Chain A
Amino acid sequence: MNKLRAFLGYRMRALIRKEFRQILRDRRLAISLILPPTLQLLLFGFALNATVSNLRLGVVDDSRTPESRELVATMTGSKSFQGAGTYLSVNEMSKKIADGNLEAGLVIPYDYARDLQRGRPATVQVMLNAMNSNTATIGEGYAQGVIATYNQTLAGEGIHAHFQEIAAPNVSRLGRVLIHPAYLYNPGLEPTWFIVTGILGVLLILNGSLISAAAIVKEREAGTLEQLLMSPASTTQIIVAKLFPLFVLLCMMGTLAVAIMRVVFGIPFRGNVLLVIAAAALCLLCGIAIGTFIATFTRSARQAQLTLFFVNPPLTSLSGAFTPVEAMPKWLQPVAQFNPIQHFGMISRGAMLKGSGIETLWPNFLALLAFTVVLVSLSIWRFRKQLS
């Protein structure tokens, strides 16, 4: 107990006060604590949107009958497609698709209405620009869905019945299965809810590592590290005093980010916010540890920043923050488990969107804690080795 008191005594307090002043006096560092993370969160949240809706649909209607116009109206009236002009020939329309002015095209053959009236099945062609695989997958589902709905309205108008008489004479038939999807946790399918809850982890690690590397290298570049070593404070005291203010200031940034999530993006906090804050603090410690670790290997701020380029982008792309981990190739998915950001995403999505508690999230917490302990002790070990 006495030892602890001595450790946290006036020397420690003086050192911590010194670090706080040093950070806050460096205007660029102080600004970079607040401005980039806020800006990034807002931009990411607003700009990254995977929704597929209002696909621009071009139409070539060779049939030119009330029946074909009704099909066009059904297609363009849905939220999935919007009408973007009619074309005289398929060639003309496919050029527009190639130029990226249209995402989809509908071709109705000249015998469409005649076939329907005679009770023969009619086939229309739907072309989708599949360059973007996600748009193609979802757009295909939309097109099928709209046509299926249209078929049901046709049935209601009696065209189907007339049609059935010819195609299916007195066979005892089985009933159809209707499937009704229900969306839990995010019934409006709001895309920002997924992105923003994941991005928070990326921001914590990214900014934590950048700022701590800058702060630590600065002392070395200025040559004031020797002065600190000459003071009667122990190396552990120096390290703790160095990292503590960074942690406190970064935690404030994290809290600001969580507030933005609630106020600007309207993300529900269905579970315990404290779980998210605790996970965010662990994530920050990971980031600070990465930054410190790299700072001990580099001689200048420029070198530290360049080295971080080798660490942060891979960490971000394997985090499942922008795109779901389940969409990665099977062999890559286990690798993502070694990423603190991935576990943070599970916790923040679980606690905020699904209302999960610690009883389901504990494996992720445990993993995050393990990363923090390993990374922090690794960086402190490197730092001490350098100081002595």
Chain B
Amino acid sequence: MRRIFAQAIKELTQLLRDKLAVALALLLPVILLLLQTTAISLTVKDLPIIVQDLDESQASQKLVDAFRESLSFHVASWPTDKQPEEAFASNKARGALIIPEEYGRKIARGEDATVQILVDASDGNTAQIISGDAQQIVRAYNAENAGATRPQPVNAAIRLWYNPSRSSQKFYGPGIYVLAMSLFPPLLATLAMSKEGEQKTILQVYVSNISAHEFLLGKIAAFMIVATGEAIIMMSILFLGFGLRFAGDPTPFLVATILYMFTVTTFGNMIGAAIPSQVAAMQAVALTGFLLVYMLSGLLFPVQNIPAAIRWISSLVWGRYYIEVVRDALLAGGGWPSVWPKVLAIGAIGTIFYTLAWRSMRRMQLKD
């Protein structure tokens, strides 16, 4: 126990002397969290659209006004003699509402009139949002103008749960927190571990009377302390800056966080012990940590959208389980009944990493 403690103190002292590494540990997570959480969003608002009103009647003006008043769009001016495609090509507009001739007359006669919305679909997701918003505007317009005489038989009352304001920051903020936790603590751990191999100070460890378990646990403990500091800083930003709160019982979150910090720092130590070169070990951790957690854990886009051929990989990605626990704690509030298998999975992956790291260290001898 005393030796573990001494090893941890030594690790922290060494870290504090490296200014660049300290900045990486404390500053970068904050920058990343603030920047990414503010910048990442898929729900576009206030997009420019153009209107080609070939009817130019009072009725068509009324419809255009309905679009103009909505929060989803603003109407940009565009000369009627130019093609709407030109507006798309020069990024002046993302959609074009085209009202055909005879529109006003058809409406007045009580017939249905079709208008078209052309959408720039080079971004498929934005295109879907544009067409959904346009349809909603038209539905509301009909309900107000033609609807009094034609109420719909079935109405849907839509309830949005857990994030009723549909704030994308509340969704991506916890995700970026998990990304930072998956990237920086293991990065620091791997740097420290591979440095011992690179500069051969590992020999001093081998000749001392410290055991492999004590050596590993000391290193893990040191970087778990760093990770705790990072977690506290980032959680306070999420709470104070982005208005997140614990939605229910916070204990699963706390247990999962401790297990997750153990898992990621052990992962860093495992890679560092296997690759005795700081640059190579760093690249390995950055690549796996970033690629796996960023792309295969449902951080940005749902896991179900990943093609089945590679989706199985995501059930091995430790970050995936932690993201689900964090989102549950901060948004859904399901507590232990809904997240216990995920907490268990994090612990299991951590144990595997520890065993692997120990196996490559246990002989306490240079590899031949």
Contacts and interface: CB of A to CB of B under 8 A. Distances in A.
Interface of A: 28, 32, 36, 39-40, 43-44, 46-52, 54, 71, 94-95, 97-100, 116, 121-138, 140-145, 147-148, 150-151, 154-155, 159-160, 163-164, 167-168, 171-187, 189-191, 193-194, 214, 301-303, 305-307, 309-310, 313-314, 317-318, 322-324, 326-330, 332, 346, 349-350, 353-356, 360
Secondary structure at the B interface, as helix, strand, loop or mixed, is helix
Interface string B308-345: 00100000000000001001100111100110000000
A177 B279 contact: no
Interface string B121-143: 11111111111111110110110
B195 to A, nearest CB: 9
Nearest to B147: A176
Contacts of B38: 328-329, 332
Interface stretch (B7-15, B166-174, B210-218, B221-229): B166-174
Contacts of B89: 350, 354-356, 360
B24 A140 contact: no
A137 B123 CA distance: 16
Contacts of B125: 50-52, 134, 138, 191, 194, 324
Interface residues of B, number: 114
Contact of B338 (A98, A125, A168, A309): A98
Contacts of A329: 38
Contact of B134 (A40, A49, A179): A179
Contacts of A178: 112-115, 138
Contacts of B155: 121-124, 147
A96 to B, nearest CB: 9
Given A50-B301, A140-B160, A305-B282, A179 B135 contact: yes
A69 to B, nearest CB: 14
A174 B300 contact: no
A125 B113 contact: no
Interface stretch (B28-36, B252-260, B263-271): B28-36
B251 interface: no
Contacts of A32: 283
Contact of A180 (B23, B116, B164): B116
Contact of A177 (B115, B157, B334): B115
A180 B166 contact: no
A89 to B, nearest CB: 16
A123 B158 CA distance: 10
Nearest to B296: A47
Contact of A151 (B44, B63, B129, B154): B154
Contacts of B106: 175
Interface in B51-97: 63, 85-86, 88-91, 94
Contacts of A303: 20
Contacts, number: 350
Given A50-B42, A52-B128, A181-B131, A98 B334 contact: yes
Chain A CB within 10 A, most for which of B152, B153, B171, B295: B153
B241 interface: no
Secondary structure at the A interface, as helix, strand, loop or mixed, is helix
B207 interface: no
A98 B47 CA distance: 33
A186 B328 CA distance: 36
Nearest to A147: B156
Nearest to B279: A301
A182 B301 contact: no
B162 A181 contact: no
Given A47-B310, A131-B171, A349-B122, A137 B146 contact: no
B110 A173 contact: yes
A47 B157 contact: no
Chain B CB within 10 A, most for which of A51, A71, A184: A184
Contacts of B20: 303, 306-307
A145 B156 CA distance: 10
Contacts of B332: 98, 100, 129, 131
Given A99-B334, A137-B132, A322-B40, A130 B166 contact: yes
A326 B107 contact: no
Contacts of A173: 110, 146, 148-150
Nearest to B137: A179
Nearest to B278: A302
A322 B176 CA distance: 14
Contacts of B134: 179, 181
Given A138-B125, A309-B24, 4 more contacts: A122-B155, A128-B159, A141-B129, A183-B119
A127 B122 contact: no
Given A46-B310, A98-B334, A168-B149, A143 B158 contact: yes
Contact of A179 (B115, B124, B301): B115
A39 to B, nearest CB: 8
Contacts of A350: 89, 91
Contacts of A52: 125, 128
B41 A184 contact: no
